[in-house]
Structure 1
């Protein structure tokens, strides 16, 4: 499969109904692309569902289980020569990290991981391909 075929397939919407959320659409395209290009690592890239709205009771329950505010949206649990893992914060164009996300980024990087903010599928492709070439 060529790069262009892979990219176009990653951008194709699935038949499920999705919210009209640009960040969500970008993240879905990135995950589809990754799983097509790197099938041997497909289960090493996963989402951290921190953004969902929850009741106070459910939020407390999730925090008791270890949920942390500010954690990156996607984590690639694969080390390369320089980093232990790749943490990816998805943002739609024009959006910026919240202070709690910047704090988590500093802690993440201080512990030997790479952290990036990605705003498009093209950015994601560059970041991931560069990260994985250093394995």
Structure 2
């Protein structure tokens, strides 16, 4: 097999493509919308940076400080008449929660919080608007 044949066979459709950061883009647009829509609440909606890549040493350090696997991506630390806080797990369309995320969801809801999975800016706007209107 020549180099050109090998390249065509193994570098075509089988090549690993760089991730498009679709989930990041959705989450960033949600944060931008929220901060424009609710400037008085801008500091009580925050991200939990669990998904960042780290060295084993840094990961151990973060776990010692209290980092937990499965925690929702965003937390709105505001109660309404039904819940203590709103926890939002961001997923790009077609992706689903891991087992550890489902377990954290159960604990979060058992503690009196609302937990939702959001896959778009439109989903986020509806969830946040409904949550904040149930004051």
Q: TM-score range by the shorter chain?
A: 0.7 to 0.9
Deviation per CA, 1:80-135, whole angstroms, max 9, x where unpaired? 00000000000000000000000000000000000000000000000000000011
Measured after TM superposition, the shift of residue 20 of structure 1 is 2.9
Structural mapping, 1:1-12, within 5 Å: none
Counterpart position of 1:38: 38
CA distance in 2, matches of 1:110, 1:50: 22
Q: Which residue of 2 is the match for residue 115 of structure 1?
A: 115
3-state DSSP class of the match of 1:43?
Answer: coil
Name the residue aligned to 1:15.
none
Query: Pairwise mapping of residues 22-37 of structure 1 onto structure 2 (< 5 A)?
Result: 22-37=22-37
**In 2: Cα distance, 1:37 partner to 1:128 partner:** 11
Map of 1:78 onto structure 2 = 78
**Which secondary structure state, in structure 2, belongs to the residue aligned with residue 104 of structure 1?**
helix
Counterpart of 1:89 in structure 2 is 89
Counterpart secondary structure, 1:115: strand
Structure 1 runs (4+) greater than 6 angstroms displaced: none
Alignment root-mean-square deviation, CA: 0.8
Matched, 1:56 2:56: yes
C-alpha distance in 2, partners of 1:56/1:26? 28
Aligned length: 117
Q: Distance in 2 between matches of 1:110 and 1:77?
A: 16
CA distance in 2, matches of 1:25, 1:122: 13
Q: Which runs of 5+ in 2 are unaligned?
A: 1-18
TM-score, scaled to structure 2: 0.86
**Structure 1: which 5+ residue stretches go unaligned?**
1-18
Larger radius of gyration: 2
Aligned to 1:106: 106
